Amino acid sequence: MPRRARRVATAAAVTLLAALPLAGCGAEDDRGAAPDVTPVAEAPAAGATDPATVDGGAAHGLSGTDLAWLQLMAPMNDRTLLLLELVGESGDDAELGAFAGELALTHAEETTRMREILDEAGVPDTNPHEGHNMTGMVTDDELAEIAAASDVDAAAREALHEHLAQSAMISGSAAENGSDEATTALAAELAETREGQLASLEALDA
């Protein structure tokens, strides 16, 4: 989606405000009569806050984008491995099974590299999105649904498609907007790998 295009779309909203009645505070104070308030003798001077603040969203050489991508993609790969395992165990389509086996290898290898970068940066190996139903992330519920589906292969293909497309897109953004060299290199590689895997999956669908 073109980013700049969106920016102009909502400019008109501002003009609506001038016509809006002031609400929410227009009523009298319903919390009871305010007692006499002693004037505050020493209110902090304006600007008393130390301006030497830092953007703490980054961690040990990783930018916010680097960190967000690594901490999203590592669990996303982990969760996908569970799906790929399910395909190998319960699927009927031999071609899809073989494809899932290849995906499992690349996913595991990528995840190891992601965790190495996180380790080096001293970031604890936690999943900030644990249990969260996100696009491209295979949840426990989705796994159970796929396992119980009348056509496990079809259900698995659909989930794989979502995962590959989403991780391709996000990795492309991370490659472009991240800053750590190892992270952006891995993200670029992963974006390309995912595009290829997506094409392979679509070829299987055909």
Partner 1 sequence: MTSPPTSRRRTRNRLLTVAVAGAAVAALQLTGIPGAIAGDDTEAAPEPAGEVSAQSYGVAEFLAECEFSHRLPDDPIVFPGLPGASHMHSFFGSPVTDAHSTAADLIEAGQTTCDPLVDLSSYWMPTLFVDGEPVEPQQATFYYLGEGVNQDVTERIQPYPEGLLMLAGNAVAGPDDPVIARWSCLHAGEVEPSKDFVNCPEHSALESYLDFPQCWDGVNLDSPDHQSHMAYPVAGECPETHPVPVPKMRQVVRYPVNGDPSRFELASGPGYTMHADFINAWPQEELERRVRDCLNAIVKCGADGNPL
Map residues 45-64 to x or -, x wherever contact with partner 1 holds by CB under 8 A: -xxxxxxxxxxxxxx---xx
Amino acid, res. 142? E
Cα gap 54→166, rounded to integer Å: 32
Among residues 94, 130, 150, 206, the one that binds partner 1 under rule CB under 8 A: 130
Check binding of 2 to partner 1 (CB under 8 A): no
C-alpha separations of 98 from 58, 156, 159, 162 in Å: 39, 13, 17, 19
At a CB cut-off of 8 Å and minimum separation 6, what does 43 contact?
none
Residue 189: CB minimum distance to partner 1, A: 17
Map residues 3-22 to x or -, x wherever contact with partner 1 holds by CB under 8 A: x--xx-xxx-xx-xx--xxx
Check binding of 177 to partner 1 (CB under 8 A): yes
Residues 82-121 that bind partner 1 (CB under 8 A): none
- Tokens at 60, concatenated: 């040990």
DSSP 3-state assignment of 59? strand
Residue whose C-alpha is closest to residue 154's, from 93, 73, 64: 93
Residues of this chain that interact with partner 1 (CB under 8 A) are 1, 3, 6-7, 9-11, 13-14, 16-17, 20-27, 29-32, 34-35, 37, 39-40, 42-44, 46-59, 63-65, 67-69, 72, 123, 128-135, 166, 169-170, 173-174, 176-178
